Amino acid sequence: MPELRHDPIQRRWVIIATERARRPSDFSVSNPPSTSDKCPFCEGKEAYTPPEIYAVRDHGGPNEPGWKVRVIPNKFPALRIEGDLGRAGVGIYDKMNGIGAHEVVVESPQHVFDISDLPVDHIALILKTYKERINDLRKDPRFRYILVFRNHGLTAGASLSHPHSQLIATPVTPRIVAIELESARAHYTLKERCIFCDIIVQELQTRSRLVSADKDFLTFCPYASRFPFEMTIIPRYHSHDFAQEPDTQLDNLARHMKEVLLRMRKALNNPPYNLVFHTAPSYHLQSKRPGYWTTIEQDWHWHIEVLPRLTKQAGFEWGTGFYINPTPPEDAARFMRETEI
Ligand SMILES: [Zn+2]
Ligand SMILES: [Zn+2]
């Protein structure tokens, strides 16, 4: 059973994956299979993965060919689904069992290069699969947060090149999300406005950091971008929860995402990147907890962070939490805007 251990000074939980215990020699970097004949995510290789949890399919039965998007448990999960939380103190420290869910969304039966190669309606199926899985996992009262993310490229952490994303349900709200939630709540308490809606109004007026805008969605480089060409994708209308978006909006999001990801790929010559979805926590089950806030539907605004991995974090970043970004977001946005796709 993996353990969640709390660092009382940094106020951060760490997953100690006891079952994946590795010796120093296990950390050498190896290249993932790049061809489809060795790939367990390709159609026809269903027997090489754990049995599926969910699939969108044209034909065939579970764990047979005929699917379009397929969700399977991670073969090497960071967290375990079975068991109780077992919250406990260990002297000055706190721990709990590493309970959670760790799923892999195989985005296509074909071994294509990237999500941006897929047609818009297929990208929409992937987004609808996220929604489906988030809503299902939210029924489990042990899970406080469900994070969807995708790694593209070896240096961004993708160990298999077949396009896939991951979903991790955690028994605590991740610290980075918790800080954003707290800031949004504080802004709302003070001003009775959503801080993200305020940012959207300003970015649409300023325009210098805009990458793309359509009727419903907006992509911009954040004012204090940590990384060169960092982007935020966000609905222009107020909406706190990705998992409550109607399917028609996910169709529009798919169109917007394809354009932005193609832009990034062309402009930056296929960079490794991470996509991270920041949606609302599973607040419907927690709202009865004392002190849990009630304005989340008004103060929170879901969004997606796009993080190209062009720079390496070194001692200064790790030691301070400061980032040195060599590309001003205004320049990054102009470059992305002017890229022909
Ligand atoms: Zn494959
Ligand atoms: Zn808003």
Model confidence pLDDT, tens digit, residues 294-337: 889 999 999 999 999 998 888 888 888 888 899 999 999 999 99
pLDDT for 138 beyond 70: yes
Note whether residue 297 is domain-resident: yes
Catalytic one of 152, 164, 278, 303 = 164
pLDDT at 182: 93
Residue 47 falls inside a structural domain: no
Number of domains the chain is built from: 1
Label the pairing between strands 101-106 and 210-213. unpaired
Q: What is the pTM of this model?
A: 0.92
Is 164 one of the catalytic residues? yes
Residue 91 falls inside a structural domain: no
Ligand 2 centroid to Cα of residue 225, in Å, is 20
In a domain, 195, yes or no: yes
Is residue 293 assigned to a domain? yes
- Mean pLDDT, residues 31-54 taken together: 82
Q: How confident is the model at residue 154 (pLDDT cuts 50, 70, 90)?
A: confident
CATH number at residue 129: 3.30.428.10
The two three-digit tokens of residue 252, written as one number = 């529009």
Ligand at minimal distance from the CA of 201 is 2
- DSSP secondary structure code for residue 123 in this structure: H
Query: Nearest ligand, CA of residue 33?
Result: 1
d(CA 286, CA 15): 22
**What is the Rg, in whole angstroms, of the alpha carbon atoms belonging to the chain?**
20
How many angstroms separate the alpha carbon of residue 243 from the centre of ligand 2? Answer: 15
Residue 14 lies in a domain: no
Q: Which ligand is nearest to the CA of 160?
A: 1
Establish if 3 belongs to a structural domain. Answer: no
**Which amino acid is located at 38 in the chain?**
K
Question: How many Å lie between the centroid of ligand 1 and the Cα of residue 324?
Answer: 36
Of 138-142, 287-291, 329-333, minimum mean pLDDT range: 287-291
- Structural domain including 308 reads 101-338
pLDDT, tens digit, 9 for 90 and up, residues 99-120: 999 999 999 999 987 899 999 9
Instruction: Please give the distance, rounded to the nearest whole angstrom, from the Cα atom of residue 149 to the centre of ligand 1.
Output: 19
In a domain, 216, yes or no: yes
Question: Please, which residues have CB within 8 angstroms of residue 219's CB and are 6 or more apart in sequence?
Answer: 210, 211, 212, 213, 231, 232, 233, 234, 256, 260, 306
Kindly give the distance from the C-alpha atom of residue 197 to the centroid of ligand 2, in angstroms, as a whole number.
Answer: 4
Q: Please give all residues whose CB falls under 5 A of ion ligand 2, grouped by chain where several chains appear.
A: 194, 196-197, 238, 301
What DSSP assignment string belongs to 148-203?
A: EEEEESGGGT-SS-S-EEEEEEESS--HHHHHHHHHHHHHHHHHSS-HHHHHHHHH
